[in-house]
Chains A and B, each alone.
Chain A
Amino acid sequence: MSCPVSAENGPGLDERGLQRLSERREFPEWKDKMNKRKMQISRRSFLTSVATVGTGLAVSLRVVAPSATGKTDTVNVAILGTGTQGQTLLETCLKMAAVRVIALCDLWAEFNLKRASDTLNEYRQSHGTYTDYREMLDTETALDAVIIATPDFCHAEHAVACLKAGLHVYCEAPMSNTLDAARQMVRSGRESGKLLQIGHQRRSNPKYRHCGGALLREVKLLGKVIAANAQWNRPVQPDRGWPRRAPVDDATLNKHGYESMQQFRNWQWYKKLGGGPLMDLGSHQIDVFNWFVEALPKSVMASGGNDHYDPKTHEWPDTVMAVYEYETKRGTVRAFYQTVNSNSNMGSFETFMGDEGTMSMSESGQCRVYREESAPEWRRWVKMGLLLEPEEKQKEEKEKSESEPGLEVTDTIEPPSYRLPITFDEPNHKPHLENFFNAVRGQEQLNCPADVAYATFVSLLKVNEALGAGRKIAFKTDDFAV
């Protein structure tokens, strides 16, 4: 299939790994990449240093660093939707250089809007507050971009309006809750000529880029990939409530498509408003399937239902298990996905299994790679800086037995597990936002443009179709076309 599975600049190596690879003769083409990357780094560190020179001034948040085109590098942003996710993105923006949040919009003025506004006030950052996004777009003429973190069913309306207003858009995942609306977003992005990045933030996470790019794609560390498995297990929880003194009035709720505060606060569970745990959580992880195997699924079958919550108030299934089949350049890959509301044990993770090893990743935890005993040595990848040396006691037994005659008997030696040479110490969403802002500045390509996210969205919606039909559903090539 010719549909996009990864953005142009694709998953990448970290700098050190790239340096080492480029120095070796078998990877001469990486020298170019390395040089390009060096320029990006110096550019970025320039921005950082400029941004921090101003510390100490009472109001020094406006950072002016003219780019080659003469445009200032500070990106003026609005956040549309300041609930939990919007506030996370706001706090992340506040930790970034050359990004200025100048407007906030949320229909829940008494709570969501107030909390986000209080945070900006703490940073002494002047900003406009709005409950109507149209008014915000009319008033805030200095905006360059909008970050959208509203409920799924509003994404298309909000994204299209912002794009039409000539603004670049970063929109939370999943794209939408209907295929038509998602398609409208992709088209609107194309027509406007503005950027539309979808918030599948793992696409910019250096740990994931290293695993998917250098390890899986470039050096084929796992051999032939046979299977993938991703899960998100979370504990059951009460419905979201709201402070009694601060509800949104019924007229406002109705005007915006909600029947009640209960719906407004728990929109994820309602079919007309959200997409349930499959969309909320699965969209990020199934996106990793498509990205890492460099293909789009051929078919999917699924099982699921309301195993814990009342289907009257939780219209989407709380348990979903799905099996995808991919035809890749190197053979069939089967991928299992599970999202369960029971307890938090096991949490969330993604694993890929090949005939030479297994790779296990988690956004909030460590990534590790395990070598199959019969697989070729990985020492060369360690030497190249693609993997870290396994811990001392796990070192391969062979090394010891060669140096000294006789089998050493000790406590059980665990099979080696390799960690990544990457320390990721940024907030989770920062690299993806940074990629978006750098694209706005004309310095990078988007890591998750709308058409890439659309393919993921189509992959997800088919699970619901398979659940309804109770059988395996095949994807048609034109399913992914917009």
Chain B
Amino acid sequence: MNATASVWRSATTPGRTHLHPATMERQPTVTGPQGTLQGTHRFRHLAMGTTFEIFAAIADGQYAEQAAWAAFEELDRIEKQLSRYIENSDISRISSLPADQPLRVGPDTLQCLELSSTLFAETHGAFDVTVGALQDCYRADPRPSQKTLRSIRQRMGMNLVELDSSEHSVRLRRSPIRIDLGGIGKGYAVDRMAAMLCEWSIETALVHAGHSSVVALAPPRRTKGWPIVLKSERGAGGTLVRFDLQNSSVSGSGLRKGKHIVDPRTGRYVEERQAAWCRGPNAAVTDALSTAFMVMSPEEIEKYCVRHPDIAAITVVTQAKDGTQTEQVLRFGDWEGATS
């Protein structure tokens, strides 16, 4: 067991889970109608730079705790493969890989990269895990020259990363390529944790990664699902939409204080988009798409949701008009059953 693991059980009854990227840096809060989800156990664990939580609705608290621990062990195992901040993770190994030399990676890394590759193609480059070099560049210098940006962008794009699923290997067409799974890894981990809970026959559960990616399994008894609320930082009341989530996922992305998102297609900061959410079949996909929807135009998002009926999205766009800022909320896809 990883020495950094920690988990505790809380008597708190969970209710409505805020999925609120704009305030993710605040202490996460869970509020809601008391008593509706009685008998739900709640467990927490630090990983991937955030707090993961499991809500499990099952009578036996000790069993729930042991299952949660098994899921958190799975999470720690995955982090060791996917984190670019761990020097011997698969992702770090890819970063130091010369061009045209295949490297064998673990199954989790391969799955994340395969999905990233598919979504890179489907979003025409709006979701791109090869943004690592660009992020490093902005971290070192917030105003890089055009020349620097051009040279970095030559080392970006999933078309430069060849995946061989039969050999489980990665080969770079150019080197170095800096991969950052920050836009998909947490979602993937949440999916795997939910799968572990199912393996333990805990099917009424919710798992989330720092409020930014959520998987809901079967709904708690006498409910239509796990209550979710999406909020915007500005605007009256802040609540954009409420809905019940079951057997699917939702993720959020946003410009938190001091955080900047760079459009991999232009190499420039996103300015007018405040937040984006995506609802879909699993958290790896919604995590990645919520990141992509931060940079895609409304027309592109609309097109994507039409082509993929299992995906729905909400974005918040700010516009400056006559010295005041207005906020526009756009919905895409099927939000039937959701209330505001």
Q: Measuring CB to CB, which residues of chain A are less than 8 angstroms from any residue of chain B?
A: 52, 54-60, 84, 91, 94-97, 119, 122-124, 232-235, 237-245, 343-344, 347-348, 364, 423-428
Top 6 A-B residue pairs of the complex, sorted by shortest distance between their CB atoms = A241-B66, A243-B200, A95-B104, A344-B4, A55-B167, A234-B3
A481 CB to nearest B CB, Å: 35
What would 26 A/B residue contacts be, using CB atoms closer than 8 Å? A52-B101, A55-B169, A56-B166, A84-B1, A91-B106, A95-B105, A123-B107, A234-B5, A235-B4, A238-B69, A239-B66, A240-B66, A240-B69, A241-B67, A241-B70, A243-B67, A243-B199, A243-B201, A245-B201, A343-B6, A347-B3, A423-B87, A423-B96, A424-B87, A425-B88, A426-B93
B148 interface contact, C-beta 8 A: no
B-side contacts of A56, CB under 8 Å: 164, 166-167
Q: Closest A-chain residue to B60, C-beta based?
A: A244
Task: Give Cα distance in the complex from A348 to B3, angstroms.
Answer: 8
Task: Give Cα distance in the complex from A59 to B171, angstroms.
Answer: 18
Quick check: B3 and A232 within 8 Å, CB to CB? Answer: yes
Task: Give Cα distance in the complex from A145 to B3, angstroms.
Answer: 31
A-side contacts of B166, CB under 8 Å: 56-60, 124
B-side contacts of A233, CB under 8 Å: 3
A-side contacts of B164, CB under 8 Å: 55-56
With most chain B CB atoms within 10 A of its CB, the pick from A57, A59, A95, A238 is: A238
Q: Closest B-chain residue to A48, C-beta based?
A: B101
A-side contacts of B63, CB under 8 Å: 241, 244
Quick check: A344 and B5 within 8 Å, CB to CB? Answer: yes
B305 interface contact, C-beta 8 A: no
The bracket for how many chain B residues form the interface is 20 to 34
Quick check: A238 and B65 within 8 Å, CB to CB? Answer: yes
Task: Give Cα distance in the complex from A123 to B111, angstroms.
Answer: 12
Majority secondary structure, A binding face: loop
B-side contacts of A96, CB under 8 Å: 104
Task: Give Cα distance in the complex from A237 to B7, angstroms.
Answer: 7
Known: A52-B102, A60-B167. 16 other contacts (CB 8 A): A52-B169, A55-B169, A59-B166, A91-B107, A96-B104, A235-B3, A235-B5, A235-B6, A239-B66, A243-B199, A344-B3, A344-B4, A348-B3, A364-B3, A423-B96, A424-B87
Given contacts A244-B200, A425-B96, A237 and B69 within 8 Å (CB-CB) = yes
Task: Give Cα distance in the complex from A458 to B107, angstroms.
Answer: 39
B-side contacts of A234, CB under 8 Å: 1, 3, 5
Q: Closest A-chain residue to B63, C-beta based?
A: A241
B-side contacts of A52, CB under 8 Å: 101-102, 169
With most chain B CB atoms within 10 A of its CB, the pick from A122, A233, A343 is: A122
B318 interface contact, C-beta 8 A: no
A-side contacts of B1, CB under 8 Å: 84, 234, 237
Within 8 A of A (CB), among B156-177: 164, 166-169, 171
B-side contacts of A240, CB under 8 Å: 66, 69
Task: Give Cα distance in the complex from A377 to B131, angstroms.
Answer: 42
A-side contacts of B171, CB under 8 Å: 55
B-side contacts of A94, CB under 8 Å: 104, 106, 168
Q: Contacting B88 at CB < 8 Å: which of A55, A91, A428?
A: A428
Task: Give Cα distance in the complex from A241 to B72, angstroms.
Answer: 13
Task: Give Cα distance in the complex from A364 to B199, angstroms.
Answer: 29
Task: Give Cα distance in the complex from A405 to B251, angstroms.
Answer: 60
Q: Closest B-chain residue to A232, C-beta based?
A: B3
A-side contacts of B62, CB under 8 Å: 238, 241
A-side contacts of B101, CB under 8 Å: 52
B46 CB to nearest A CB, Å: 9
Q: Closest B-chain residue to A95, C-beta based?
A: B104
Q: Contacting A119 at CB < 8 Å: which of B7, B67, B107?
A: B107
Quick check: B67 and A95 within 8 Å, CB to CB? Answer: no
With most chain A CB atoms within 10 A of its CB, the pick from B3, B62, B92, B105 is: B3
Quick check: B201 and A244 within 8 Å, CB to CB? Answer: yes
Within 8 A of A (CB), among B173-191: none
B302 interface contact, C-beta 8 A: no
Q: Closest B-chain residue to A96, C-beta based?
A: B104
Q: Closest A-chain residue to B6, C-beta based?
A: A235
